[in-house]
Structure 1
Amino acid sequence: MDITPIWLTLKLAGITTLLLLAIGLPLAWWLSKGRSFFKIVIEAIITMPLVLPPSVLGFYLLLAFSPQHGVGKWLQQTFNVQFVFSFQGLVLASVIYSMPFMIGPIKSALQQLPVSLSQASYSLGKTKWQTFVKVLAPNIKPSLLTAIVLTFAHTLGEFGVVLMIGGNIPGVTRVASIAVYDSVEQMDYASANTYSLILFAITFVLVIAVFIFNKYQLKSPLE
């Protein structure tokens, strides 16, 4: 069995999670502070991947970043960068597709924190950034870990959106979920089962770890 799809999947999930952590933390913080029509629109756009068929999202990403059209053509001509049928394209699609899984839990946790935490920090002369890093973030560790694991696990199982923009190129864009599909198409059920079991095992261990971590984080000191 070729383990390259597993390696590509783990690499994709890791890069996607790190990028979304960098993007999601400040974005979730901004969205959690007050409401405006603009924020509602941004939040709706972020949430769309939850309800939009992956193939539809992948199709529009394929059109947008195709070297023959719009943004994709400009990137190709200006920077010689191509997202379609490349690993970079998989990362782009995964970041967009998994964004609600990172931002949702973090935003909800931040909204539940008492305003007095921020006010006390500001009164001590701390900046907004210092308040977020040193006061707010440590108080949402369970939700932060949940967001990280959900994002990583969700990326492991992506199929439609990565197939549309990345295709099925061995060693480049053929991730584990596509390898499962290929194996079934070829009636190689042993390989399909092996790929599936590996993905299942990784996801199961991650989810169990989150539950255990959250149990001890949320446990009352009197227990």
Structure 2
Amino acid sequence: MPVDIAAPGRAAPLSPDDRRAAIVEAVLPLVAERGTEVTTRQLADAAGVAEGTLFRAFGDKPSLVGAVAMEGLHRASGPDETRAELAAIDRSLPLEVRLAAVIELGRHRMADVVRWMTVLRHLHPHTGPGDLSGPGQTLRVKLLQQRDEQRAATIEGLTDVLRPDADRLRVPLDVAVALVESAIAGTHGRIDHLLPAPSATVVADVLVHGLAGDAPPPPTDDPRP
């Protein structure tokens, strides 16, 4: 359905800001899938508007794709969402199961952040943080502040996930949280793409039991012998 046309007897046309927000919301999944390769025709079809409406709202395709990427990055690093996801993990589950869930959530969020950062880099390959000005600089400041808030929410949530087994840990809770964060950052994807990252179940089991010990090996779909 077009987002900017009002027929007689229908609601008044959207304001420019609301129209831009509606377009961003409508095309966000498409840009997440296709990145900068998306065409204006595809964007217009996804938003249910004419291509001319896109240009009137955003000026050009890079401006629209950039606005979508910034919104996607904002959502991927939202502290409220992080806090809610971690709070939803059942604290009665075994520690290994809880950690596997944490790792899966962390990998998913990191993949989203990397996806949107990649789109932005493709749009502005020669632009560094210091080159932003005006609205771009304001948005960057907001994102940096949100990143700090998301980091605090992550530490808070991970601490709460680990707390039921605090008496079992060989290291303080804050050190355990840092180790879990490092495991997520180091295993959410392989840079060389030659082998898949170890499954969350395997990583969680190693975090709990260590690389050496008497515990039976965890189930794995890792193709390596």
- Shared fold by TM > 0.5? no
The structure having more radius of gyration, on CA atoms, is: 2
| Structure 2 length-normalised TM | 0.29
Say which structure is richer in helix: 1
| Structure 1 length-normalised TM | 0.29
